[in-house]
Amino acid sequence: MIDSSDLDFDRRHLWHPYTSLADPLPVYPVESASGCRLRLADGRELVDGMASWWCAIHGYNIPELNRAATDQLAKMSHVMFGGLTHEPAIELGRRLVEITPDGLDRVFLADSGSVSVEVAMKMAVQYQHALGRSRTTFLTLRGGYHGDTTGPMSVCDPVTGMHQLFAGFLPRHEFYDRPPGGFTAAVDAEYISGLEGFFATHADRAAAFIVEPVVQGAGGMHFYNPAYLRVFRELCDRHGLLLIFDEIASGFGRTGKLFVGGDAGAMPDVMTVGKGLTGGYLTLAATLCTSEVADTIGRGEAGVMMHGPTFMANPLACAVAVASIDLLMSQDWKANIARIADSLTLHLRPAAQSDRVKEVRVLGAIGVVEMRDPVDVASFQAHCVGRGVWIRPFGRLVYLMPPYVISEDDLELLCLTVVKYVLALQPENDP
């Protein structure tokens, strides 16, 4: 049981994500979690609207995933992947090759989403080097977010992203505006013309074009027309760049498509997946590529893929990931996502009445209320916890990405909590 002394230690000694130790935000102690609910130390229960930063797609304390973990623990929790292999890694590789877009049949099992992007970027550089090309920069879109380690930070938005402080430390890459409009907006010919010029100017030094397909996640929760993915594919082919799709946030059904890129008819050369891979149980991600990319790297000077983390292909994480994928594919996840989308659209719509709201947008199991000004996180979370829900805003965004199994009543409660807070805001008197 967590008591006040534990919370005091936490406050003085433990860094939480994007939080100051000098003036930390309040934290709420969780004792257990089950289904779509978090149980606090004081007995209160909170409906989880975040799926623990989008990864707990099945909810919490899932019997099938618990069983996979305990069965694997009885065999081995970890063994190095250098020179050894094991059944969980092989089975996970099979599942990923089966469910991802055709042609992505080489799999690198990484520690986390950010590491999987690091691996994707290194693949691209090694690929170009093997072809005798000195191409080490990357092209990408403004408004993107790819992770918190060095390589991914360097392709996050350099102006509106979270990593401006490190600008002098990071490699410099080339950024172009994100596609205009939303998911259903018409394709903009002027935008495409400008993008063609951008490629013509910078492609001869670039190894790859890296994007979050259709949904830009933590960089702003922007959506764009899937037709642009085919434009990206054509331009990469024309200029000899690899196309990298970062599906860490969008993959495993979050948008209503199992994976956005393949469904849009634009095959990437490299794709990263994470978050929902283990259903939120353990850290694991994967970088997939085509055989052409892998074979070219193998013919290069190094002859090998130059990356190998200590916990690569951790058997415990792989076993849970296999169970998570099997559980997802055994359910009518498409119907669940469609149901969530309809409910988010209906119940978040009233928030648009507020002058404080810039836009309300929904895609699949993603609901976003974009404010005109930054959200007071402590105030907002106190409001939410007081009403029995857990939502974590960032910047100007209040958003919901709940577990796929959430009930209609719980989903409505999440939305109404957001709407009540937004509509209570007055220009001269914030709550």
- Could you give the residue numbers annotated as active site? 18, 145, 246, 275
User: Pairing mode, if any, of strands 137-141 and 174-176?
Assistant: parallel
Adjacency order of strands within the sheet including 242-246: 104-110, 285-290, 270-273, 242-246, 206-211, 137-141, 174-176
140 in a labelled binding site: no
Q: Does the annotation flag 246 for ligand binding?
A: yes
387 is written with which tokens? Answer: 């009403």
- Cβ atoms within 10 Å, residue 113: 29
310 annotated among ligand-binding-site residues: yes
Token duo for residue 145 = 């977010």
Residue 267 has φ and ψ, to the nearest 5°, of: -80, 125
Cβ atoms of 132 and 120 within 8 Å: the answer is no
**Residue 53, annotated as binding a ligand:** yes
Is 238 marked as binding a ligand? no
Q: Phi-psi category of 252—alpha, beta or left, where left has phi over 0 and alpha has psi -120 to 50?
A: left
Residue 114 assigned to a binding site: yes
List the beta strands (DSSP E) in 79-168.
Answer: 104-110, 137-141
Q: What's the one-letter identity of residue 369?
A: V
* Burial (CB count within 10 angstroms: exposed 0-12, middle 13-18, buried 19+), residue 329: middle
CA 253 to CA 241: how far, in whole Å?
Answer: 27
392 marked as binding residue? yes
- 145 assigned binding-site residue: yes
Known binding residues for pyridoxal 5'-phosphate are 113-114, 246, 309-310
Known binding residues for substrate are 53, 145, 275, 308, 392
Known binding residues are 53, 113-114, 145, 246, 275, 308-310, 392
